[in-house]
Amino acid sequence: MKLLEDKILSDGVAVNEHILKVDSFINHQVDPELMQELGKEFASHFSGKGITKVATIESSGISPALMTALALNVPLVILKKQPSKILNQDCYQTVVTSYTKGTNYELTLSQKYISEEDHVLIIDDFLANGEAATGAVRLIRKSHATIAGIGILVEKSFEPGHDKLTQQGIEVYSLARIAKMGEGFVEFVKE
Ligand code: 5GP
C-alpha cells in the first residue's frame, strides 16, 4: 500500500538490517488518519470472510486493529501479555518469544471474549519470525474459533514469519513488505 510505504520512507528509521523504528506514527506517537486508512484497507480486503472479531497483541497493534474493527463494525479483543501468576481457569494462555527483546512472555485470552462460533481477523504491526502471530493463532485456536486471516502493517519478507503462517493455510495480507533494509535505507518487495 503506497500510503504506508511512503510514510515508512519519510518517517521510519531503519536502525540496522533487522529493526525499523516507527515510533513517530505507529507505536509511540500514533497517526490516527493513517491508522484509519489502514483499518479501512484491511476491512475491505477481508470483507466477505464473515469476520465477527478482530484480535491483536498488546500494545503496538491496538491502533490499526481498533480502526479495522471499527470499519468492520465488530469488537476488538486485545490479547494480553501477562505473567502466569495471575492465570485463572477462565483464561487460555501460551508462551511467545519477543523479537525485539529476545525474552518470553505469556499471552493470555479470557474465554469470555472469543468462542467457537467466532471468525477472527488478527492484526499486528510487524511480522518478522512469526512468533507473535503464531502465538496469537495458537491462543485463538484454543477457543476453537476460526482464524479468518492475518493483517500486518509491516512485513519483513526476508524473515520466515510469512511462510510459517501461510504453510498453516492462513492468509496473510501485509500492507508494506520489506525486501531488504539497513542503516538508513529500506527497499520494498516489487509487486
Ligand atoms: P515476530 O514475532 O514476527 O518475530 O515479530 C513480531 C513482533 O516483534 C511485532 O509484534 C513487533 O512488536 C516486534 N517487531 C519485529 N520487528 C520489528 C521492527 O523492525 N520494529 C519494531 N518496532 N518492532 C518489531
Nearest in space to 51 (alpha carbons), one of 175, 171, 183: 171
Identify the band that residue 88 occupies on the pLDDT scale cut at 50, 70 and 90: low
- Which residue bears the cell 518470553? 104
Residue 145 clears pLDDT 60, i.e. is over it? yes
Work out the average pLDDT over 165-169: 97
Residue 31 clears pLDDT 80, i.e. is over it? yes
Contact 123, 151 (CB under 8 A): yes
Nearest atom in ligand 1 to 97's CA: 2
Identify the band that residue 86 occupies on the pLDDT scale cut at 50, 70 and 90: low
| 0.75 exceeded by pTM | yes
Residue 14 clears pLDDT 80, i.e. is over it? yes
Residue 84 clears pLDDT 70, i.e. is over it? no
Walk me through the domains of the chain, giving residue ranges and CATH numbers.
2-79+115-188 (3.40.50.2020)
* pLDDT of the residue at 102: 85
Identify the band that residue 4 occupies on the pLDDT scale cut at 50, 70 and 90: very high
Residue 155 clears pLDDT 80, i.e. is over it? yes
| 22 within ligand 1 shell (Cβ under 6 A) | yes
Work out the average pLDDT over 148-163: 98
Question: Which of 17, 19, 126 should be mutated for ligand 1, with most atoms under 8 A from CB?
Answer: 126
Residue 115 clears pLDDT 60, i.e. is over it? yes
Strands 185-188 and 53-57: unpaired
| CA–CA distance, 6 with 28 (Å, rounded to integer) | 19
* pLDDT of the residue at 42: 98
Question: Which of 62, 101, 107, 125 should be mutated for ligand 1, with most atoms under 8 A from CB?
Answer: 125
Identify the band that residue 191 occupies on the pLDDT scale cut at 50, 70 and 90: confident
Indicate the angle between helix axes 2-11 and 32-45, nearest 10 degrees. Answer: 150
